Amino acid sequence: MIILFIFPSFPSYKRPSVSFQRMGYPYVFRCLSAVTPKKYLIEIVDERFDKINFNKNYDIVGITTYTANAFHAYEIADKFREKGVKVVLGGYHASALPDEAKQHADSVVIGEAEETWPQLLKDFEKGKLKPFYRQTRPVDLSTIPLYDATFIGERSIRNVIQTSRGCPNGCEFCAITNSEFGRRYRTRPIDHVLKELITVPQKNIFFLDPSLTTNVNRTKLLFKKLRNLNKKFLCNGTVNVLSKDDELLRLASEAGCVEWFVGFESLSQENINAIGKRTNVVKEYKIAVKKIHDHGMLVTASFIFGFDGDTKNVFSETLDAAYDMEVDSAGFHILTPYPGTPLFERLEREGRILTKDWSRYRELDSVVFQPKNMTPYELLDGTQYVKKEFFSFNNVVIRSLKTMKIGMYPFIQNALVKNLP
């Protein structure tokens, strides 16, 4: 029997013209493949790079959904169902709005799927698919089979690894922490992670963990174990740890870390407190950046525009702060109220959701709610202005020359790979 997993493309997505932008198949398919019985043949289509063959005879199709590509995912699902193929929808959007997703699927998987997916396949073989599958408990990451790290493909310039799931912080806007069991922090055994990493053909790794600074002692042990693997990696971390823990930063650098992604989000402590990001103290931002630099690593900062405390001055102030802190790269995003988050629920109560055209829920180039202190156009225009200035040719050259001492990969990323969908 043949299973087809599909990652649908996003609206307005432009297929990359250079192969290095191919970062491999989405991690969810590696997870599902690990718990799929060997009697199934698995095929994967990442529609950002490949085309779907609707004429091939598949037994069951699994489609993962984000909010921005949900409508397109439904179109794909409907096409297969018209041909009599069973379709399963999952992912963040389908989990947040399962009744909506069920209109386009034979079954919907809500939340994590390592335990529900095998049961779904058993029911499928019996011709008794249930409309919904939902785990009653968070997945114990020590019980699932080791992932095949070569599964991501030789053509990718980096591989992805996950050592933990969940984030105890409940940021109002975050689709991860507000998903099923999203705030339940769990870790994989370090020896499992190392066994997976040893099979990875790529030298460059991205750790998918929401934050590698949630359990500092475990992360220090992980970094010590990574020192002999000769890998280069990027990971997420939080200000409260990165601004204080020199030992962690030293171990990270020795282990091969070249870059930290840090969610600064806002320069306003009032905004930070309002969204519930307990790890951020604004006055510690510059300290964190300096410490990371002092240990020979780069910083990519993430900023979000559109919080209730933001005025039209936020754009120039954030741009100036990014320059002053000397961050090496940055992501500038429009606040987006994803379904299932407290932010969406609050803005809907306040009558500030402007559209439920999910294809517009793109935090890079679309405003879907009424900001408090500016118009939607001013929010969009201000965000685009900041990106244009920060990523101007001169600024990119200046930053990239600084990063070349760490190696060519960060240089390429800073110069060319920015704000991709």
CA distance 251 to 217: 11
Same structural domain, 111 and 162: no
Same structural domain, 245 and 268: yes
Same structural domain, 379 and 405: yes
- Residue 12: pLDDT over 90: no
From 100, 134, 168, the end of a domain falls on 134
Same structural domain, 189 and 249: yes
Same structural domain, 325 and 401: yes
How confident is the model over 332-390, as pLDDT tens digits?
999 999 999 999 999 999 999 999 999 999 999 999 999 999 999 999 999 999 999 99
- Residue 248: pLDDT over 80: yes
Same structural domain, 174 and 207: yes
Contact 33, 148 (CB under 8 A): yes
Q: What is the pLDDT of residue 199?
A: 86
CA distance 347 to 368: 10
Which range marks the domain in which residue 358 is found? Answer: 149-416
Same structural domain, 383 and 352: yes
**For residue 383, how many other CB atoms are within 10 A of its CB?**
25
Same structural domain, 89 and 211: no
Where does residue 19 rank: exposed (0-12), middle (13-18), buried (19+ CB within 10 A)? exposed
CA atoms within 13 A on the CB side of 356: 9
Would you place residue 25 in the very low, low, confident or very high pLDDT band (cuts 50, 70, 90)?
low
Instruction: Please give the structure tokens belonging to residue 157.
Output: 């310039």
**Angle between helical axes of 285-294 and 246-255 (0-180°, round to 10):** 40
Instruction: Please give the structure tokens belonging to residue 100.
Output: 């909506």
Q: Has residue 47 been placed in a domain? A: yes
User: Which CATH number does the domain housing residue 394 bear?
Assistant: 3.80.30.20
- pTM comes to 0.91
Total tally of structural domains belonging to the chain: 2
CA distance 176 to 146: 23
Percent of the chain with pLDDT over 70: 90
Q: Has residue 139 been placed in a domain? A: no
CA distance 59 to 23: 28
How confident is the model over 94-126, as pLDDT tens digits?
999 999 999 999 999 999 999 999 999 999 999
Q: Has residue 256 been placed in a domain? A: yes
Same structural domain, 287 and 249: yes
Instruction: Taking residues 171-175, report their average pLDDT.
Output: 91
Instruction: Taking residues 389-396, report their average pLDDT.
Output: 92
Q: Has residue 191 been placed in a domain? A: yes
From 105, 134, 163, the end of a domain falls on 134
Q: ∠215-231-113 over CA atoms, to 5°? A: 55
Q: Has residue 171 been placed in a domain? A: yes
Q: Which long-range contacts (CB under 8 A, 24 or more apart) does 282-285 make?
A: 284/239, 284/240, 284/243, 284/244, 285/239, 285/243, 285/321, 285/325
- Residue 154: pLDDT over 80: no
Q: What average pLDDT is seen over the chain? A: 90
From 82, 104, 134, the end of a domain falls on 134
User: Which CATH number does the domain housing residue 102 bear?
Assistant: 3.40.50
Q: Which residue(s) pair with 353 in the sheet?
A: 369
Q: Which residue(s) pair with 260 in the sheet?
A: 235, 299
Same structural domain, 296 and 319: yes
- Residue 19: pLDDT over 60: no
DSSP-based three-state secondary structure for 259: strand
Q: ∠351-356-358 over CA atoms, to 5°? A: 145
Q: Which residue(s) pair with 43 in the sheet?
A: 4
Q: Has residue 421 been placed in a domain? A: no
CA torsion, ordered 125, 146, 158, 138, to nearest 10 deg? 70
Q: Has residue 144 been placed in a domain? A: no
Q: Has residue 29 been placed in a domain? A: yes
Same structural domain, 121 and 204: no
Contact 141, 193 (CB under 8 A): no
Q: What is the pLDDT of residue 116?
A: 96
CA distances, 410 to each of 8, 335, 388, 403 (Å): 28, 27, 20, 6
Same structural domain, 233 and 360: yes
Torsions phi, psi of 64, nearest 5?
A: -95, 145
Query: Sign (positive/negative) of CA torsion 386, 389, 395, 396?
Result: positive
How confident is the model over 274-326, as pLDDT tens digits?
999 999 999 999 999 999 999 999 999 999 999 999 999 999 999 999 999 99
